[in-house]
Each structure stands twice: as C-alpha cells, then as structure tokens.
Structure 1
Amino acid sequence: MKEFVKQMKIKDLDAAQLERAASMLKAIAHPMRIAILSHLEEGKRLTVTEIHKLLDIEQSTTSHHLGILKDKGVLISQREGKNTFYSLKHNSLQNIVDCVSKCTVKL
C-alpha cells in the first residue's frame, strides 16, 4: 500500500524541523557525500568496503563520511554478521540527488 504524504512547504515547517533540514543539507553538501548518496539510490544497501571500492577512496575516509551522514539523519545502518550495511534513511532523499544532478547540467 502506498503511503500518502502531504507535500509540505518550507513555511509549514517549525524552527526545529528547519534546523534538522539545514543540518541534513549541510551534511550532504560535500562532493564525496553526494557520490555516496548516488550509490545508495533506489533502496540499495552497501557496506563501507563496497562504497570505498566504488569511489576509489580510503576506507577510513569512507567511514568518516558515512558517520557524518548517519549522525545527521541522512543514512541508517544495519549490522548483519561482520558487515554493516548503509542505506538512505528516507527514500525521498533521492530527490535531493536528482535535483542536484539536474541543476548542474550545462545548458
């Protein structure tokens, strides 16, 4: 069953919601973090190792960025055995990645 979500406008948000939104956007506003989100689109779940190999960056750097995104409520993690899988906390965050990619296209 598809969940009905009322489309909110910025004016409908209270101060606490605006603060959380700003905090999330600040966390996302880094090229490497945008790249991480792009790999987690469409409900994908990836480990730190998978992400660091996809982006060709150090595992410690990947962990640092994932920690920031998780701390700010952008990602969630789920431990399964030795692995921790990361995914978008809210599927609607994919819209931010879509918007950024559309806004950066040269005309």
Structure 2
Amino acid sequence: MEAKSGTLSQADAEKLERIAFILKTVAHPLRLGIVHLLEQYPELSVSDICEKLGSEQSLTSHHLQNMRLKGILAVKRDGRSMLYSLKERDVSLIIECLENCQCNM
C-alpha cells in the first residue's frame, strides 16, 4: 500500500492502533496504579499489589486478569502465589510520556 502525502503509512497506522489498544487497556486508575507498581518492582503477587494500593483482592484480580489476557502483564506461579510482571514495556513509555506532558488540567 503506497502512502500519499498527508496520509498515514501502513506501519504508522499499525503503530497508532497498538498505542490506542494499550491506552484503552490501562485506562483505569487501578490499572495505572498496577502498572506504576510493576515499574518499581519486577514481580508482585496479588496480595502485594492490594496491600500497596489499598485495593480489594477481587477487584484487583479482575484487573490483573484483564491486563494479562490483553498481553500487558505476564504471570508465573511461585508456590501458591501468582507473580505478575510487566510484559509490555511500551506501556511504561506511553504513561511516562503522558505524565511529562505539559497539559493544562
């Protein structure tokens, strides 16, 4: 597909789709909190995340599962615990960019 001047190339369109997908996936305060924690700690259990965020385990587990299914998080078993980590590092870069934005809110 040839890009005309003023139109997006296929690669640029796919990149924007990926960014939109990531933003939609993490567009919740609790999910953003989880991503922020996992930037600081390489792996955390659901209990650790709940303790650090002051959130309920059932709600936190729901959000963790959603982000795992969408490829944002990775999970591995450690005994009886499930340890979560960031699988999609681009999430951190996108959020960092937004945090550094000089937006008037």
Same fold (TM over 0.5): yes
Distance in 2, matches of 1:105 and 1:51, equals 29
Q: Which among 95, 98, 101 is matched to residue 97 of structure 1?
A: 95
2:84 alignment partner, SS class: strand
State the AA in 1 paired with 2:101.
Answer: C
Do 1:74 and 1:88's aligned partners in 2 also have CA atoms closer than 8 Å? yes
Instruction: Using the TM superposition, give the Cα deviation of residue 91 of structure 1 relative to its aligned residue in structure 2, in angstroms.
Output: 2.5
Structure 1, unaligned runs of 5 or more = 1-9
Q: Deviations over 1:54-98 (max 9, x none)?
A: 110101111011011111111010111111110111333211221
Aligned in 2, Cα 1:85/1:75: closer, same or farther, shift over 3 Å? same
**Is the 2:44–2:83 contact (alpha carbons within 8 Å) kept by the matching residues of 1?**
yes
- Number of residue-to-residue matches in the alignment: 97
Identity percentage of aligned residues: 38
CA 1:104/1:65 → structure 2, altered by over 3 Å: closer, same or farther?
farther
Task: Note the aligned Cα RMSD (angstroms).
Answer: 2.6
Q: Which moved more, 1:42-51 or 1:68-77?
A: 42-51
Structure 2: state its 5+ residue gaps: 1-7
Relative to structure 1, the CA distance from residue 43 to residue 14 in structure 2 (aligned partners, 3 Å threshold; closer, same or farther) is farther
